Every structure is written in C-alpha cells, then in structure tokens.
Amino acid sequence: MMDPVTDANQKKIVRLYGAFGAGLVFSMVPLWSAAIVSAALILGVLIVAYVLRTDAEHGSLIENHMTFVIRTIWIGSLFALITTSAASVYFLKALDNAPLQPCAEMILSMASGMSDPTAMEKYINDFMSMPCWANYWQTNLMIFIIGGVIAAGPILIYFVVRYIRGLTRAMRGYRVANPKAWF
C-alpha cells in the first residue's frame, strides 16, 4: 500500500495528465473554439507543471513527471513549428490557384466600376454566382489532406505516445525512466 503523501501526489499527477489529455482531444476538433480551449488547457497544464515541479522535492515522483510533461509540451511545440513550416512549403509548391483566377479578375473589374451602382449590383451578382471557391477546394482537396497530415500527423503521434507513456507510468506510481529524453 502506498503512503498517503505519495498517493496524493500520484492523484495530482494523474489529474494533470487528465487535463493534458483533454487538451489533446480538443486539439483534434476542427473548430476555433475547441482550439482555444485546447490551447488554454495545455497552457494551464504547463503552468501547473512548473509550479508543482518548483514545490517538489528533487527526485520525487512529482518532479519526475512534471519534468516529463514540461519537456513534452516544449519539444512538441518545436516539432509543431517544424512540421507546420514543412506543410507551408508543400502548400506553396503544390496548390493550384488557377480556379481562383476568374474571381480575381471579377474583383479587379469591380474596382474599376464602383462609381456606377447598377454595374456594381451586376458585378456582385455575377461574383456571388461564380463557383471559384468550390472549384478551388475540389481541385486542391488532396493537397490540403496531405498538407494537414504533414503538419499535424507527426505532432499528434508524438503527443499521444508521450501522453500514454507518462499517464500509464503515473497511474502505476512509477517514474518515467528518462524524463528529459526527446522521445
């Protein structure tokens, strides 16, 4: 049986992993509000991890897991910057912007006819009936999927693997073997 102090510390760690897991789940929901909740949860986890680690004894279970969580968040953020940059380069080279050309020309012609209200109404009606965005998405759908996988895939795998590794160790009351490791 664990002593009460260790059991209380273990519960704190598991709760922190719970909040971290919730942040990871919200990060996969394709809504801005979910992204904001995810960022707030993960930032909160990071702050709490720093506070708990500061108050913990050197070599304790809490210090070990908080170091692991802190490094997971910072290293994952660095990897996210790298994969997002790689996806951006991929998008710049692969996207076909030709389906947007008719809409761009329409906007430019609208700018020259702004003084005539009837012409402006005609331009607006013509512009709204053009299928530019639908064609653009249809033409580039596979590129968007591949770019999304490049940007998010490795990061999600990294966070999920580290999360499961840390949570399972914490639930058993074990330390992470090398909390400062990158992988």
56-73 pLDDT per residue, tens: 999 899 999 999 999 999
pLDDT band at 136; cut points 50, 70, 90: confident
What pLDDT score does 126 carry?
66
What was the pLDDT predicted at 40? 97
CA neighbours within 13 Å on the CB side: how many for 13?
31
Quick one: pLDDT band at residue 48, thresholds 50, 70, 90? very high
Tokens of 105: 């020309």
Considering the entire predicted model, what is its pTM? 0.79
How many beta carbons lie within 10 A of that of residue 135, not counting itself?
16
Query: What band does 108 get if pLDDT is binned at 50, 70 and 90?
Result: confident
- Sorted by where each begins, the domain ranges of the chain are 4-171
pLDDT interval class at 3 (50, 70, 90): very low
Residue 167 vs residues 18, 25, 163, 164, 171: alpha-carbon distances, Å: 8, 15, 6, 5, 6
Q: How far apart are CA 21 and CA 18, in angstroms?
A: 5
pLDDT confidence of residue 57 = 92
The pLDDT of residue 119 is 66
